[in-house]
């Protein structure tokens, strides 16, 4: 009996010490109040599991850092002046992106928009087949399924032809990619780099940062054509998954913007190789990766990058700025909607000021908790006059697009949520062009024709158990 009481006494003190250490740790990190409260609830109700979860999901150890700025050599190749933009409303946005992402203006570009994976992969495969010097791919999710194997077979064939191929995958995103798939690529000479975020050396081989991911989706072929957008590599992006038709937005760019994509890729690749292998191998003819771009068009673009160890959330700041300069309307397409407080306030202010704001959101979910947390934020905006459209329930919308006033737009990998703003490495393009923006808006308007309007009455009449789920999901939304 005495032994039992002794064990209970020790266990009680263990839980108390666990809560004290956990609480002090998270408070000293000075996270946003709502995030701090969410973690404190986890510590209280799940000791000592809460501390373990925090180590794996909450801490930012800032060890394996993807570079937050272009290499000096790349900067010299891609500098442009700001004078090409005549509209004073956009000068401050340009300067903001230049300061937070070190991005110049790319002024000679041709842009092709794809509305789904069928269009995107058709173009990607065609461009891969044309490769003469190098292929650079950086994808969050890579699956060894139908389209994954098609891409693999092309890469192996091109590698045998002497094309230099580098392929960045995220460890979490490629968790279901077979070892054989990666081995076949490496055996053919493809240089595969796996991004993973590691804790201090005493846990060197345990991936403690499953919450910090490389969510970028980049393809660069011969330094002349680039791809950026929402599609990963997998059959579901072709509409062959359980969610049905997959509505996504991806763009192909030819022009000097590709040099920016190339700079981001190479900096990412070198950073990962240095951590994983302790070395960086420079090539003698490095300038061949940055050929003089052909003047393909007159589309003006900028590049925004962000990540968990960047000093400022550059993509969130750019979106915030775009919202504040809107004069007529804002169209947003996003699969997840867990925005920061500043983004929510900006949308409310814009809506109250008469700006027509429309948001396209999935009618079904692929992430249960995120979906129901998102609904609470969307319902909150309904009260301010924002229109929310739920996409058809036999499909899934995964686009990450925002357009403003039919003049400027952003397309990239970042969702409208805290994860993309603060936890993931992301990359977005900003397009200063009315023609391209109009095409994106026409696609958006076609999408809402296939959607149903979400009303505040429908939301408030939801079953009680759904309201409970939403309330709980909202509490932990800052951690999603």
Task: Please identify every residue annotated as catalytic.
Answer: 215, 217, 222, 398, 400, 405
Q: Exposed, middle or buried by CB within 10 Å (0-12, 13-18, 19+), for 410?
A: buried
Q: Is 332 in contact with 405 (CB distance < 8 Å)?
A: no
* Cα(429)–Cα(17) distance, integer angstroms: 47
Residue 425, helix vs strand vs coil:
strand
State the Cα–Cα distance between residues 451 and 390, nearest whole angstrom.
5
Tokens for 14, please give them.
Answer: 């263990």
DSSP for residue 142: B
- CA–centroid distance for 453 within its chain: 26
Q: Are 360 and 451 in contact (CB under 8 A)?
A: yes
Residue 33: count other Cβ atoms within 10 Å of its Cβ. 10
The count of C-alpha atoms lying within 13 angstroms of the C-alpha of 381, restricted to the half-sphere facing its C-beta, is: 28
- DSSP strand pairing (106-116 vs 218-221): unpaired
* Ramachandran class of 30: left when φ > 0, alpha when ψ lies in -120 to 50, beta otherwise: left
Give the N- to C-terminal CA distance of the chain in Å, as an integer: 45
Residue 54 near residue 26 (C-beta atoms within 8 A): yes
- Check: CB of residue 449 under 8 Å from CB of residue 390: no
Of 93, 195, 190, nearest in space to 402 by CA: 93
CB atoms within 10 A of CB 450: 16
Q: Which residue in the block uniquely carries the two structure tokens 């993509």?
A: 315
What residues does 404 pair with on adjacent strands? 330, 408
CA distance 310 to 206: 23
| H runs (alpha helix) in 209-359 | 257-277, 314-324, 341-352
Q: Measure the CA–CA gap between 99 and 109, rounded to whole angstroms.
A: 22
Give start and end residues of each alpha helix (H) in 313-463. Answer: 314-324, 341-352, 368-382, 418, 434-449, 456-460
Which value, to the nearest 10 degrees, does the dihedral of the CA atoms of residues 78, 90, 315, 227 take?
Answer: -50
Q: Report the alpha-carbon distance of residue 44 to residue 40 in Å, rounded.
A: 6
The closest alpha carbon to 205, from 190, 194, 216, belongs to 194
């Amino acid at each position: 009996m005495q032994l039992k009481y002794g064990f209970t006494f020790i266990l009680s003190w263990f839980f108390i010490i666990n809560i004290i250490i956990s609480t002090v740790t998270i408070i000293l990190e000075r996270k946003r109040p709502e995030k701090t409260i969410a973690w404190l609830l986890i510590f209280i109700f799940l000791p000592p599991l809460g501390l373990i979860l925090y180590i794996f999901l909450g801490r930012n150890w800032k060890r394996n850092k993807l570079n937050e700025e272009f290499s000096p050599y790349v900067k010299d190749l891609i500098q442009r002046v700001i004078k090409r933009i005549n509209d004073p409303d956009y000068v401050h946005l340009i300067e903001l992106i230049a300061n937070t992402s070190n991005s110049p203006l790319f002024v000679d570009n041709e842009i092709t928009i794809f509305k789904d994976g069928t269009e995107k992969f058709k173009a990607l495969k065609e461009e891969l087949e044309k490769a003469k010097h190098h292929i650079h791919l950086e994808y969050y999710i890579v699956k060894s399924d139908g389209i994954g194997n098609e891409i693999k077979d092309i890469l192996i064939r091109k590698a045998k032809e002497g094309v230099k191929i580098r392929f960045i995958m995220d460890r979490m995103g490629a968790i279901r990619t077979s070892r054989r798939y990666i081995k076949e690529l490496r055996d053919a000479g493809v240089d595969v780099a796996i991004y993973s975020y590691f804790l201090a050396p005493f846990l060197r081989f345990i991936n403690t940062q499953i919450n910090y991911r490389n969510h970028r989706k980049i393809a660069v072929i011969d330094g002349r054509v680039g791809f950026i957008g929402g599609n990963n590599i997998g059959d579901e992006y072709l509409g062959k998954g359980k969610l049905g038709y997959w509505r996504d937005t991806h763009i192909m760019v030819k022009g000097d913007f590709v040099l920016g994509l190339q700079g981001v890729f190479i900096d990412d690749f070198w950073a990962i190789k240095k951590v994983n292998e302790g070395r960086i191998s420079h090539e003698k003819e490095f300038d061949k990766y940055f050929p003089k771009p052909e003047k393909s068009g007159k589309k003006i673009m900028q590049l925004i990058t962000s990540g968990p160890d960047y000093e400022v959330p550059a993509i969130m700041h750019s979106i915030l700025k775009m919202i504040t300069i809107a004069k007529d309307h804002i169209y947003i397409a996003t699969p997840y909607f867990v925005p920061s407080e500043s983004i929510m306030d900006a949308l409310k202010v814009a809506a109250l000021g008469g700006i027509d704001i429309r948001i396209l959101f999935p009618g079904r979910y692929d992430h249960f908790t995120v979906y129901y947390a998102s609904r609470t934020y969307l319902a909150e905006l309904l009260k301010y006059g924002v229109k929310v459209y739920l996409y058809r329930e036999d499909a899934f919308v995964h686009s990450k697009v925002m357009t403003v006033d039919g003049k400027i737009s952003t397309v990239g990998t970042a969702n409208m949520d805290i994860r993309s703003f603060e936890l993931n490495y992301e990359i977005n393009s900003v397009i200063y062009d009315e023609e391209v923006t109009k095409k994106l808006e026409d696609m958006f308007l076609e999408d809402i024709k296939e959607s149903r309007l979400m009303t505040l009455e429908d939301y408030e009449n939801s079953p009680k158990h759904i309201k409970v789920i939403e309330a709980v999901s909202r509490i932990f939304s800052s951690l999603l």
